[in-house]
């Protein structure tokens, strides 16, 4: 088996067995359907508000699914002192990182799928398949940022602090896009997270996906994910990561 | 066989190694003996390819990292930085993961893992998650991981730290068996009795330098000391004065 897949499979199994973390990630992913469901009882004829809220919670779900696995995958390896034994294998650090990234991205995608399934069940609103697929780069970006942050931390507690802050990114950017008049400017469609919010909101209203915008934001998202991964790979080459300094 | 030549390593303003050189032949247990901070762990991490030296080189079975750092890692097995296990995985899963990363072909993989489990006497714990393991069980699992690809060279950094007496004895038996099979074993410790009990040759490290190398008897003779402890003190004191 290719080392990248070997690492990804191990991280997936290890992450899945951490039941407390899995349940916590699932609850966070379902928080959106839960909150929007409660709000829908309180206000009537407010589709615009509900859809806007749904789009923001969907963005957040793409990030929360992978947080615990990312925390454990690098910062946890350092804390439990299993990073040095792992680095002793004849596998490049980039391959190890890519395997961990794919595993984290799979958990992000699972969180996103759970969130969309919750909304579909409660409100019978689902984004078109093409839009759902176009959210996968968002999961890859979330995973790359989470892995990068995890490489900067010495232990799980520190990683937990910074990764919790990262989840504010989709929340803040999503809310900004919902309420800001600048959201109508065309270039926002190509900004990662912001562009996704616009697409999700439009999709949940029943509008046809904009292929150019989907392609553009997908490309921009992958570029940012690549930069985050390169930063993580660079960090993993530094001596203090090995020496726990 | 491991040949270490003039290794230097700097961490910021701290010089961890200032030119460490020694030779560890096959079929011999070589002990790296030194006080805390003498450079034992840094040396072993460089030999196993986890850290890069600022200067100097390491040859493992004549292969240099310049041939590709991964070529060196295929020839070395190591138990560094304590056991470092995955608490939710079983020893069998940890060994399988490690074997796959060492690219052991699938048809040989299962047989090799069964062989290791039997060699280390781990049959009763092989399918239990390592989270609740005793220090001895953790050590066996970590040793299995180090041996999974049948390396000719084995590096152990303070492997008996935290182990009870039966586990230490079991580890000694395993290492002697590996040595008798022709492996090159490098064993670091700051506990003199432990090095004396197990090692055929000793390299004394002090202040980032290898200050003496030889069999325990040779070291005592050269230092003009009655025992290894006195020889160790004499060599390290001389290094202190020189530093």
Confidence of residue A45 (pLDDT cuts 50, 70, 90): low
Facing A87 at nearest CB: one of B50, B93, B102: B50
With 0-12 / 13-18 / 19 or more C-beta atoms within 10 angstroms meaning exposed / middle / buried, residue A126 is: middle
Q: Tell me what pLDDT residue B152 has.
A: 92
Q: How many domains does chain B have?
A: 1
Would you call B12 helix, strand, or coil by DSSP? Answer: coil
The two structure tokens encoding residue B187: 């064993």
A19 or B167, greater pLDDT:
A19
Residue with tokens 């000391």: B225
Determine the average pLDDT of the residues in B215-236.
89
Quote the mean pLDDT of chain A.
90
Residue B216 has pLDDT above 80, yes or no: yes
Question: Across residues A29-35, what is the average pLDDT?
Answer: 91
- Picking from B51, B84, B101, the nearest residue to A89 by CB comes out as B101
Higher pLDDT, B104 or A188: B104
Q: Residue A241: which residues within 8 A CB-CB, separation 6 or more?
A: A78, A83, A151, A235
pLDDT reading at A185 higher than 80: no
Comparing C-alpha atoms, which of A55, A58, A238 is closest to residue A142?
Answer: A58
pLDDT value at residue A112 = 94
Q: Please check the confidence at residue A180 and state whether its pLDDT lies above 70.
A: yes
Residue A88 at interface with chain B, using a CB cutoff of 8 Å: yes
A80 contacts chain B (CB < 8 A): yes
Which of B51, B74, B82 has its CB closest to that of A90? B74
pLDDT grade, residue A124 (50/70/90)? confident
Closest CA to B5 of B50, B82, B68, B62: B62
pLDDT at A145: 97
Q: What is the pLDDT of residue A184?
A: 66
Range of the domain at A150: 3-243
**pLDDT value of position B76:** 93
For B96-123, what is each residue's pLDDT tens digit?
999 999 999 999 999 999 999 998 889 9
Question: Which residues of chain B does A90 touch, with a Cβ-Cβ cutoff of 8 Å?
Answer: 70-71, 73-74, 101-103
**Nearest residue on chain A to B98, alpha-carbon basis:** A89
Instruction: Outline where DSSP puts E strands in chain B.
Output: 2-11, 14-24, 28-34, 55-60, 76-79, 153-157, 184-189, 201-206, 209-214
- The domain of B14 spans 2-242
Give the CATH number for residue B115.
Answer: 3.40.50.300
More confident residue, B66 or A234: A234
Overall average pLDDT of the B184-209 stretch: 90
Of B49 and B128, the structure prediction assigns the larger pLDDT to B128
pLDDT value of position A131: 79
Q: What share of chain A is helix, strand, coil (3-state, %, to 5)?
A: 85, 0, 15
B148 to chain A: nearest residue by CA?
A89
Q: For residue A183, what pLDDT band results from cuts at 50, 70 and 90? A: low
Domain count, chain A: 1
Which pLDDT band, with edges at 50, 70 and 90, does A220 fall under?
Answer: very high
- Per the DSSP assignment, residues forming a β-bridge with B23 are B3
For A202-212, what is the mean pLDDT?
84
User: What is the residue-wise DSSP string for A178-209?
Assistant: HH-GGGGSGGGGGSTTHHHHHHHHHHHHTPPP
In sequence order, what are the beta bridge partners of B18? B8
Q: What is the mean pLDDT of residues A196-222?
A: 88
pLDDT tens digits, B32-86:
999 888 899 999 999 988 898 999 999 999 887 666 778 888 899 999 866 789 9
Q: Are A13 and B73 an interchain contact pair (Cβ–Cβ within 8 Å)?
A: no
Above 90 in pLDDT, residue A25? yes
The percentage of residues in chain A with a pLDDT greater than 90, rounded to a whole number, is: 62
Residue B184 pLDDT exceeds 80? yes
Average pLDDT, chain B: 89
Task: Examine the pLDDT at A244 and tell me if it is beyond 80.
Answer: no
For the segment B220-238, the average pLDDT, to the nearest whole number, is: 88
Where residue A123 falls among pLDDT bands split at 50, 70, 90?
confident
C-beta atoms of B89 and A10 within 8 A: yes
Question: Who wins on pLDDT, A129 or B59?
Answer: B59
Q: Residue A121, Cβ neighbours under 10 Å: how many? A: 11
Quote the CA–CA distance of A121 and B183 in Å, as a whole number.
62
Structure tokens at B9: 């390593």
B132-143 residue pLDDT tens? 998 889 988 999
Give the pLDDT of residue A134: 84
Residue A7 near residue A100, CB atoms below 8 Å: yes
Q: Which pLDDT band holds residue A245 (cuts at 50, 70, 90)?
A: very low
What is the 8-class DSSP label of residue A245?
-
Q: Name the pTM for this structure.
A: 0.91
Q: Which residue has the tokens 């805390």?
A: B36
ipTM of the complex: 0.91
């Amino acid at each position: 088996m290719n080392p990248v897949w070997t690492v990804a499979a191990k991280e997936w199994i290890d992450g899945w067995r951490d039941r407390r973390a899995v349940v916590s990630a699932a609850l966070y992913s379902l928080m959106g359907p839960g909150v929007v469901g409660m709000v829908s009882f309180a206000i009537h004829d407010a589709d615009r508000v509900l859809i806007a809220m749904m789009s923001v919670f969907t963005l957040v779900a793409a990030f929360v699914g992978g947080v615990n696995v990312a925390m454990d995958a690098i910062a946890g390896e350092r804390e439990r002192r299993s990073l040095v034994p792992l680095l002793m294998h004849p596998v490049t650090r980039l391959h190890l990182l890519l395997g961990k990234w794919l595993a984290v991205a799979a958990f992000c995608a699972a969180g996103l799928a759970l969130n969309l399934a919750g909304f579909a069940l409660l409100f019978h609103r689902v984004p078109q398949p093409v839009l759902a697929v176009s959210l996968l780069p968002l999961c890859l970006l979330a995973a790359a940022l989470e892995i990068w942050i995890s490489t900067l931390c010495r232990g799980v507690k520190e990683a937990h602090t910074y990764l919790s802050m990262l989840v504010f990114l989709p929340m803040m950017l999503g809310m900004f896009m919902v309420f800001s008049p600048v959201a109508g400017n065309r270039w926002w469609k190509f900004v990662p997270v912001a562009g996704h919010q616009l697409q999700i909101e439009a999709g949940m209203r029943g509008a046809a996906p904009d292929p150019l915008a989907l392609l553009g934001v997908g490309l921009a998202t992958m570029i940012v994910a690549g930069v985050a991964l390169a930063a993580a790979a660079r960090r993993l080459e530094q001596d203090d990561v090995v020496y726990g300094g | 066989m491991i040949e270490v030549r003039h290794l230097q390593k700097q961490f910021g303003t701290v010089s961890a190694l200032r030119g460490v050189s020694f030779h560890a032949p096959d079929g011999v247990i070589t002990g790296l003996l030194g006080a805390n901070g003498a450079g034992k762990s840094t040396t072993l991490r460089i030999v196993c390819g986890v850290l890069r030296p600022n200067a100097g080189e390491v040859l493992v079975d004549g292969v240099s990292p310049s041939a590709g750092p991964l070529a060196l890692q295929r020839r070395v097995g190591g138990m560094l930085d304590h056991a470092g296990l995955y608490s939710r995985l079983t020893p069998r899963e940890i060994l399988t993961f490690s074997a796959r990363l060492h690219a052991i072909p699938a048809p040989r993989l299962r047989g090799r893992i069964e062989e290791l489990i039997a060699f280390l006497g781990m049959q009763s714990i092989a399918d239990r998650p390592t989270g609740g393991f005793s220090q001895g069980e953790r050590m066996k699992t970590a040793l299995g991981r180090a041996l999974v690809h049948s390396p000719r060279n084995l590096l152990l950094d303070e492997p008996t730290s935290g182990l009870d007496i039966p586990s230490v004895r079991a580890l000694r038996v395993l290492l002697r068996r590996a040595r008798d099979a022709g492996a090159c074993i490098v064993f670091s410790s700051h506990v003199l009795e432990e090095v004396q009990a197990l090692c055929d040759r000793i390299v004394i490290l002090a202040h980032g330098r290898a200050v003496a190398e030889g069999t325990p008897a040779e070291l005592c003779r050269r230092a003009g000391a009655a025992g290894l402890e006195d020889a160790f003190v004499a060599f390290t004191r001389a290094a202190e004065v020189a530093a």
